[in-house]
């Protein structure tokens, strides 16, 4: 099991160290936490400056950003594999009511959840901090439980553990020690654990109880709030198509929905035009309807983002025209569920963002380092958890992540690079513009009897160059 830990008190905080120690036996732990106390940072991303990741002497990674940045960076860039769970804490002081809006501890878990990963925020309810070990143990029991009963949906838990000895805690079913002492310090006030008071993602009350989290009466108990346990989103590992719902939710939180020429209506019109131009794949069209293309171009060009044209993105490169993106993805997908996909030529990141909505795991390689950084910045606010960007020469493909169900090359090559042939899975499809002055979109399929090449439309792409830029 892969466990990502974070907090809002900073990487040196005792609560984090205890959490790491307590969960150590359960799987592979990575800690990515803020470099200083960022309590009250809420679910905010740093978009106005680059972030730096450093490693402390004890192996924890720390970032000069918010708790949300930490989880976001870890999931979308630092970690080789998606974590199975995100745990944030242990915060000193309960997070209840309004606190859950401002808390950085809860925000780190929220970020995990938004990226499609089950996530838990853990706080110690008290001011003394005398019993961190109790909260650490409750956290371990929860994680163990997730390990034994993997969730079918991402879930966000906000857990507040009373600052008392573990043996005096009782009541969250399945973990209550058999010989738990009765009574004790009395009820801790509030009613966050009452299932009928739990709110879902949109702030509506959610009725009913969930089996397995019922609380026994008359005992001191950790407070467990299921924010959004019933959201309709697919888990990270099962995102074929269903990722649409997940990202829709994430995007609706982002301020980039646009107005006028950059609005959803402009995107709808673009999709209607793509349909008229012959694009039939519903999943591709839906993905293009959802991804805000205007975020990937310079502000001065944003009003032209939904026209059917390539636009400059700097470094003598262009964002491909919508029809080219749609057509390539339609050919690459061919109606299949795509598992692993490689894109060569990240550019501003638009094509990768669209691909991430139609494939389970996407890798994208760009040779120009500053362009890749720009793509990262463009993509950050979209919170895409299943996309890995790499700096390299796409002529080599990405052997460490091969084989791929599909490879999409967004630049024209004089000939098909042999490494790309080799990295195609059986049944895989490679779509690449081939040619120098006149280019043809070319499909290469790896069939049981070898490679089959089909020439498709005449196209116009920037050249595929050699080496890193």
Q: Sign of torsion, CA 293 295 299 303? A: positive
Which is nearest to 339 in space by CA: 272, 406, 392? 406
Determine which one of 22, 88, 123, 320 is catalytic.
320
Rounded Cα gap, residues 239 and 189, in angstroms = 40
- Shortest Cβ 253–ligand SAH spacing (Å): 24
Q: Does 262 bind ligand SAH (CB under 6 A)?
A: no
Q: What is the largest CA-CA distance in the chain?
A: 82
Is residue 368 at the binding interface for ligand SAH, with CB under 6 A as the rule? yes
Distance CA 145, CA 303 (A): 50
| Residue 338, token pair as written in the block | 């795509």
* Least distance from ligand SAH to the Cβ atom of residue 454, Å: 22
Identify whether 320 is a catalytic site residue.
Answer: yes
Given 20, 344, 379, 444, the residue binding ligand SAH (CB under 6 A): 344
Q: Which is nearer to ligand SAH, 10 or 345 (CB)?
A: 345
89 binds ligand SAH (CB under 6 A): no
Q: What CA–CA distance (Å, rounded) separates 425 from 406?
A: 8
Q: Which of 317, 378, 423, 442 binds ligand SAH (CB under 6 A)?
A: 317
**Chosen residue from 103, 134, 318, 378 binding ligand SAH by CB under 6 A:** 318
Strand order in the sheet with 28-34: 53-55, 61-63, 28-34, 2-6, 85-92, 119-125, 156-162, 223-227
| 351 lies in the site for ligand SAH, by CB under 6 A | yes
Helix axis angle, 14-23 relative to 132-148, nearest 10°? 40
Question: Does the protein bind ligand SAH through residue 366 (CB under 6 A)?
Answer: yes
Cα-to-chain-centroid distance, residue 158 = 20
65 binds ligand SAH (CB under 6 A): no
Binding residue for ligand SAH, selected from 231, 239, 360, 367, defined by CB under 6 A: 367
Q: In this complex, which beta carbon is closest to ligand SAH, that of residue 123 or of residue 317? A: 317
- Of the CA atoms within 13 Å of residue 415, those in its CB half-sphere come to 4
**Of positions 120, 342, 365, 444, contacts ligand SAH by CB under 6 A:** 365
> What residues between 372 and 431 interact with ligand SAH by CB under 6 A?
393-395, 410-411
Interacting residue ranges for ligand SAH, rule: CB under 6 A? 317-320, 344-348, 350-351, 365-368, 371, 393-395, 410-411, 462, 464-465
| Active-site annotation, residues | 320
């Amino acid at each position: 099991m892969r466990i990502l830990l974070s907090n809002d008190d900073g990487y040196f905080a005792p609560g984090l160290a205890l959490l790491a120690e307590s969960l150590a036996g359960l799987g592979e732990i990575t800690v990515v936490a803020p470099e200083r106390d960022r309590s009250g940072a809420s679910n905010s991303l740093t978009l106005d400056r680059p972030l730096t990741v450093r490693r402390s002497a004890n192996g924890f990674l720390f970032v000069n950003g918010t708790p949300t940045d930490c989880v976001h960076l870890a999931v979308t860039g630092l970690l080789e594999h998606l974590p199975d769970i995100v745990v944030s804490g242990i915060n000193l002081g309960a997070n209840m009511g309004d606190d859950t809006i401002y808390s950085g501890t809860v925000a780190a878990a929220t970020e995990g959840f938004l990226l499609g990963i089950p996530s838990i925020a853990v706080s110690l309810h008290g001011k003394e901090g005398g019993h961190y070990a109790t909260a650490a143990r409750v956290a371990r029991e929860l994680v163990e439980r997730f390990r034994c009963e993997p969730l079918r949906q991402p879930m966000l838990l906000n857990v507040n553990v009373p600052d008392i000895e573990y043996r005096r805690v009782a009541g969250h079913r399945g973990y209550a020690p058999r010989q738990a002492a009765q009574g004790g310090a009395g009820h801790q006030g509030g009613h966050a654990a009452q299932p009928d008071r739990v709110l879902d993602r949109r702030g509506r009350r959610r009725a009913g109880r969930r089996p397995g989290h019922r609380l026994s009466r008359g005992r001191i108990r950790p407070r467990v709030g299921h924010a959004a346990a019933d959201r309709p989103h697919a888990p990270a590992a099962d995102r074929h198509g269903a990722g649409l719902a997940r990202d829709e939710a994430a995007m609706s939180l982002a301020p980039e929905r646009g107005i006028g020429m950059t609005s959803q209506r402009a995107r709808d019109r673009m999709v209607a035009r793509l349909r008229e131009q012959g694009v039939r794949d519903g999943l591709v069209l839906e993905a293009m309807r959802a991804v805000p293309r205007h975020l990937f171009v310079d502000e001065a060009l944003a009003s032209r983002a939904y026209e059917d044209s390539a636009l400059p993105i700097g470094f003598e490169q262009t964002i491909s025209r919508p029809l080219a993106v749609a057509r390539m993805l339609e050919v690459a997908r061919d109606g299949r569920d795509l598992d692993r996909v490689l894109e060569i030529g990240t550019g501003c990141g638009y094509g990768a963002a669209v691909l991430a909505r139609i494939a389970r795991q996407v890798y994208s390689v760009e040779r120009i380092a500053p362009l890749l950084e720009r793509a990262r910045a463009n993509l950050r606010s979209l919170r895409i958890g299943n996309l890995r960007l790499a700096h390299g020469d796409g002529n080599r493909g990405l052997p460490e992540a091969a084989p791929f169900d599909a490879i999409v090359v967004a630049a024209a090559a004089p000939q098909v690079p042999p490494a790309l042939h080799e990295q195609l899975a059986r049944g895989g499809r490679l779509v690449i513009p081939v040619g120098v002055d006149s280019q043809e979109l070319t499909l290469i399929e790896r069939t049981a009897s070898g490679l089959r090449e089909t020439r498709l439309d005449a196209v116009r792409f920037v050249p595929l160059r050699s080496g890193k830029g």
